[in-house]
Amino acid sequence: MPYGYEKYKLEKSDKSKNTLKFEVIVIKQFLSFVSLKYKKSKEPHEFTSEDVQDFLTKENESWTDHTIYRKQGHLKRFFDYLWETNQISYDFMEKFNYFSNKKEKSKFKFIQSEINYTYEKMLENKTKILTSDLADNSKLLTVLYMKGIQLIDMYNLTIDNFDTSQLDLIELTYTSKYNVETKIPFTDPLDIDVLRRAIEKAIFKGTDYLISVRSKTVQGEYVQTKPISSRTYINYINDFIEMPFRSDEIRVTYVQYLLEQGKSTSEISQLIGRTESSVIHLLQSAKERMSTLN
């Protein structure tokens, strides 16, 4: 139970003890590595980003990129916990990325790789996620990611952008960063349930933003968050479906799916908040990156 992490997570999150077991194993491995490195135990405030970098590098010859990415995610959640419980004053892991510091590993995260799944496969994963015991924020991000929404737009959404007047339909309207008037219907009952809960939580918190975070300066206040602040919830999804859950890849598969459903580029443009020229570019990307599926 390193620094109270397991007990805290069992009490404060929806995660099962079995799920936490794997996170705790990685955390203990890291703490053991640090103790061996310095030949003594260190307090949380003494940990450095170099310690994490060295730990992930130590056995990377026998780890796949995905394994390193997963272990990095476990440690990010651990350091987020240390920050939340005031055991550290600064969470350096918030911006830490092992792959950006290792050129030979950077292809995992930054190079546009082939996409070896279809949107239908992600729809199956979506159902699994939304019917699981994952955190509500993970489910909310899943619903929004699956509609191809640009990340910067996602975190600007307010409860006023959603029309919840109908029981079997929620309509989202907003002007995207590309200055496209966007209108997205949500008809899946699972999506609707997740969105209604998110809206209710925002109202309870007293914030307009669908995705918010506790203010570090004003007690009890919730403020607009940034994409990096939700990395923990995306990591939960990665671990659960055992594959990276990336917005850009999902968007590419989504536009291809919409085209196959008979949607025009103009209709797709309105559904994802992109210009028609951008939609054409995404369709070309789908043709290239999903070529192995044809």
Q: What is the pLDDT of residue 167?
A: 93
Phi, psi of 170 (to 5 degrees): -125, 130
- Report the C-alpha gap between 283 and 170 in whole angstroms: 27
Q: What is the pLDDT of residue 125?
A: 96
Q: Which residue type does 224 have?
A: Q
> pLDDT tens string for the chain (294 positions)?
567 887 877 766 656 666 678 888 889 889 988 888 888 888 888 899 888 988 888 756 556 677 788 888 889 988 988 888 888 877 888 888 876 655 443 333 334 568 999 999 999 999 999 999 999 999 999 999 999 998 889 999 999 999 999 999 999 999 998 999 999 999 999 999 999 999 999 999 999 999 988 887 888 888 888 766 677 888 889 899 988 888 889 999 999 999 999 999 999 999 999 999 999 999 998 998 887 776
Q: What is the pLDDT of residue 104?
A: 42
Q: What is the pLDDT of residue 128?
A: 97
- Residues whose CB is less than 8 angstroms from the CB of residue 176 and which lie 6 or more positions away in sequence, other chains included: 150, 153, 182, 273, 274
SS (H, E, C) 223-271: EECCHHHHHHHHHHHHHHHCCCCCHHHHHHHHHHHHHHCCCCHHHHHHH
Instruction: Walk me through the domains of the chain, giving residue ranges and CATH numbers.
Output: 2-110 (1.10.150), 119-293 (1.10.443.10)
Q: What is the pLDDT of residue 223?
A: 84
Q: What is the pLDDT of residue 195?
A: 97
